[in-house]
Structure 1
Amino acid sequence: MNPDTTLRKPYSPKMLKQGDIGAWPVVGALIAIAVIFSTLNDRFLSAQNLTTLALQMAATGTIALGIVMVLLLGEIDLSAGSVSGLCATIMTIVSVKQGWQPLLAILAALLAGTAIGLLHGLMLTRLRMPSFVITLAGLMGWQGLLLYLLREGGTINLPFTGFISKLSDTWLPGWLSWLVVAGLVIVSGGVGLLNRTARVKAGLPAPPAWWPPVRAGGLGVLLGAAVLIMSADRGVPLLLVIFGTLVVGFDLMLRHTAFGRHVYAVGGNAEAARRAGINVARIRVLAFMLASTLAAAGGILAASRLSAVNQQSGGSDVLLMAIAAAVIGGTSLFGGRGRAYAALLGVLVIQSITSGMFLLSVDSSVRLMVTAAVLALAVAIDSLARKGPVR
């Protein structure tokens, strides 16, 4: 069984030698991307481009966050794209054609996603069907249902001035952006100190006392720089705040709750987890429910940006980019290793590559090949890391 991430020390050179490389390759890739594209085009690091990048990553990143949940179990969800499009379509139909209030329409879409995840989870645990087959069938079936619901016109537009469309056209005022940054820094530092105190009392290895405040301070510097840059353009987009809140919330859940520890345990070794008294079937069902709910949330954010749903909603390369983001961000395909921040880091890499190549007028075929190479490299690093200590 892979060790629970709550029992790990902060990353150190010793841990790197042992194969636990964490997010450092992704951070290095982001730095390299920034240097290369800013050298080739000075608009890459402009406030306008970075704000647009932040806006674009929210929908795919939210879907990728759900993919992280199932990858941690060593499973896969190929239906996430179709689920996102279908749930967005349900929201739009009940809102536009049935006259439901926007919040009720959004709730209906999220509940539809949860129900789909429950179905997938029960098929996995009760019928013992492989998740690959279940979600491959879901990819086709839910896409077919979307086409059936849109059969008359093919496209349904959302009111540009409506609540749902405003989600992607709302920008935080400066004071609120700084308040959010301060809150995240306080939460990060507080959780780190509480976790360290608990580990010391339990006699477990704990980071030095200076580590939690230094880490929180580093987070504050990064977030503050992001706020300064985006404030020079339109400001911090609400979609980014929603996505960031989901990432932070799920990271805390995975690292500091019994459910999160059980997810890592099941992904590391399901049989050992079962013998330890963990209800493996329940964990799997809940993970698939969360994954599909997050896919629905991603579909809602995508529909908000387009102010419409159509037959391509959730299609094209949405699923592939979401899976690639989760893996590139550091989530292991073999289960038991990864963090919620993988969705954020991975989608940032993919969107940065897309943005940079768009500014350079590079053909989309080249973008796909470059993204594929980055994905292959991420999987290769993960595979090598699992072989154990470097000898």
Structure 2
Amino acid sequence: MADNSPARTTAPGTESRQPPHRQAVARVLEGWGLLFRHKLSAGELGALPVVLVLAAVWIVFQCLNENFLSPRNLSNLSVDIVGTGLIAVGIVFVLLLGELDLSVGSISGLAAAVFAVLNVNNGVPEWLALIVAVLAGTAAGTVQGYSFARTRVPAFVVTLAGLLTWNGLMLYILGTSGTVNLNERGLVARLTSYYFHDDAAAYAAAAVSVGTVFLVSYLARRRRRSVGMPHRSLRAVALRTGVVAVIAFATAYLLNRFQGLPLALLIFLVVVAGLDIVLRHTRYGRQVYALGGGVEAARRASLRVTRVQTAVLAVSGTMAAIGGLFLASRITSVSQSSGSGVLLLNAVAAAVIGGTSLFGGRGTTWSAVLGMLVIQSIASGMAITDTPAAVQFMITGGVLFAAVVIDSLARRSQEAHGRA
């Protein structure tokens, strides 16, 4: 009888002579390799393309200027991504529906203007002005979301009207002065300038991050296993946690070599992680992904489409407001140009470059982090090498175009495999 067993790639007995822990790691890596080839053929590339782009950007700019990967520049980079990154996280929620929110820039400027006028010009306590500013963004997003859900007018049309409306309201609130300087000793102004100088703070944050990743992965594995669904092995969970640990503690080490852990970065990562759990491990998150797969199918499955769509735009407005406050903190002022310029384009580009699909139903909040790292790394590299801003726009546009093409090709491959 013919032997149909697969050919050995190593000499007989070689594997058995390896230590048990090496055999375990080898099996995990082999499993990951098979899974990667399967996902590649099915068009499920995940974060791999953006990680490769980010690595290429860092290598190129480090070769052009040895200060690019210095602790100082990386620390500044980690703070610069926060404001626009928070707005991009809200964009991710909207893109998961297969829609687009064009009003986030104007809402961010409106929230910053509300806070500055209440706190600086009218003496309202900072904590109260902060709450009102965030609620203003939430209200703006809720109004747009309800209008979109009830009228079924495409979200980009509703939010385009919102872009003009909220920008006009911001200009009206600021009045003739046009610019309001924040109190530099206030909470909001210190959001992007405060650092935890104690080395233990950064390492403690890294340890908590690693523990959270392991706990979430382990609980997800146990839940999937209990219902008979495919799940990761414990070795795979441990190896994945180990990779996160290397990245987290290396980041903590680099930050401690400059001024320590930035408060803004800590808040950003906590918000991103929290919203990621909401999206991937709650009923609401599953409903968002379901709507991205098809609104009619979701309606027939008895999902409350209007409520979910309204909530998604409300989340986008809230994140835009919070992001606007961080952007105001970075320059310690609010002006008539707040929320304008390339802010909207960068927020949308960050979400798309990071791997969130324009067709809906695919992406995570971490997509915004990766995409924002790419965009801000390009901007930082251009600044440190004295390259004209025009070149920065062209490179960012090229990366965005490549991301859209990859997304389209991936969707075609998924359709061919019956996954879209």
TM-score (norm 1): 0.96
Match of 2:360 among 327, 332, 335: 335
Match of 1:349 among 367, 374, 380: 374
Do residues 300 (structure 1) and 346 (structure 2) align? no
- Deviation beyond 6 Å, 4+ runs, structure 1: none
Deviates more, 1:165-174 or 1:112-121: 165-174
Q: How many angstroms apart in 2 are the aligned matches of 1:12 and 1:366?
A: 35
* 2:189 paired residue number: 165
Q: How many angstroms apart in 2 are the aligned matches of 1:268 and 1:145?
A: 35
Write the deviation string for residues 103-129 of structure 1: whole angstroms up to 9, x where unpaired: 211111111111011100111011222
Q: How many angstroms apart in 1 are the aligned matches of 2:160 and 2:239?
A: 45
* 1:180 paired residue number: 205
* 2:386 paired residue number: 361
Determine if contact 2:202/2:255 at 8 Å carries over to the other structure: no
Counterpart amino acid of residue 302 in structure 2: G
Fraction of identical pairs, as percent: 44
The equivalences for 1:99-114 within 5 A come to 99-114=123-138
* 1:57 paired residue number: 81
* 1:78 paired residue number: 102
* 1:133 paired residue number: 157
Write the deviation string for residues 191-233 of structure 1: whole angstroms up to 9, x where unpaired: 1111101111100011112122221221111011111111111
Counterpart amino acid of residue 329 in structure 2: S
Q: How many angstroms apart in 1 are the aligned matches of 2:332 and 2:222?
A: 48
Q: C-alpha displacement at 1:155, in angstroms?
A: 0.3
Match of 1:34 among 51, 55, 58: 58
Q: How many angstroms apart in 2 are the aligned matches of 1:135 and 1:270?
A: 19
Query: Unaligned regions of 5+ residues in structure 1, if any?
Result: 1-8
Q: C-alpha displacement at 1:61, in angstroms?
A: 0.2
* 2:348 paired residue number: 323
Q: How many angstroms apart in 2 are the aligned matches of 1:177 and 1:366?
A: 35
Determine if contact 2:41/2:413 at 8 Å carries over to the other structure: no
Q: How many angstroms apart in 2 are the aligned matches of 1:62 and 1:207?
A: 30
Q: C-alpha displacement at 1:370, in angstroms?
A: 0.5
Do residues 198 (structure 1) and 201 (structure 2) align? no
> Larger radius of gyration, structure 1 or 2?
2
Q: C-alpha displacement at 1:98, in angstroms?
A: 2.0
* 2:400 paired residue number: 375
Q: How many angstroms apart in 2 are the aligned matches of 1:140 and 1:238?
A: 33
Q: How many angstroms apart in 1 are the aligned matches of 2:338 and 2:199?
A: 33
* 2:264 paired residue number: 239
Q: How many angstroms apart in 1 are the aligned matches of 2:245 and 2:167?
A: 42
Q: C-alpha displacement at 1:140, in angstroms?
A: 1.2
Q: How many angstroms apart in 2 are the aligned matches of 1:13 and 1:275?
A: 35
Match of 1:16 among 18, 25, 40: 40
Match of 1:221 among 218, 240, 246: 246
Q: C-alpha displacement at 1:287, in angstroms?
A: 0.4
Determine if contact 2:209/2:248 at 8 Å carries over to the other structure: no
Counterpart amino acid of residue 302 in structure 1: L
Counterpart amino acid of residue 221 in structure 1: V
Determine if contact 2:117/2:174 at 8 Å carries over to the other structure: no
* 2:177 paired residue number: 153
* 2:287 paired residue number: 262
Do residues 115 (structure 1) and 122 (structure 2) align? no
Counterpart amino acid of residue 152 in structure 2: R
Write the deviation string for residues 151-186 of structure 1: whole angstroms up to 9, x where unpaired: 221100111112211111110232122111111111
Write the deviation string for residues 3-30 of structure 1: whole angstroms up to 9, x where unpaired: xxxxxx9852211111000000000001
Counterpart amino acid of residue 68 in structure 1: V
Deviates more, 1:138-147 or 1:96-105: 96-105
Q: How many angstroms apart in 2 are the aligned matches of 1:123 and 1:129?
A: 8
Counterpart amino acid of residue 62 in structure 2: S
Query: Unaligned regions of 5+ residues in structure 2, if any?
Result: 1-30
Match of 1:69 among 93, 96, 100: 93
Q: C-alpha displacement at 1:52, in angstroms?
A: 0.7
The alignment covers a number of residue pairs equal to 383
Find the residue that maps to 1:146 and give its secondary structure.
helix
Counterpart amino acid of residue 356 in structure 2: T
Higher relative contact order (CA 8 A, sep 6+): 1
Find the residue that maps to 1:35 and give its secondary structure.
helix
TM-score (norm 2): 0.89
Match of 1:230 among 255, 279, 293: 255
* 1:48 paired residue number: 72
Match of 1:25 among 40, 49, 68: 49
Determine if contact 2:201/2:261 at 8 Å carries over to the other structure: no
Q: How many angstroms apart in 2 are the aligned matches of 1:350 and 1:239?
A: 18
Q: How many angstroms apart in 1 are the aligned matches of 2:245 and 2:340?
A: 36
Counterpart amino acid of residue 127 in structure 2: L
Counterpart amino acid of residue 393 in structure 2: L
Counterpart amino acid of residue 58 in structure 2: A
* 1:88 paired residue number: 112
Q: How many angstroms apart in 2 are the aligned matches of 1:136 and 1:44?
A: 38
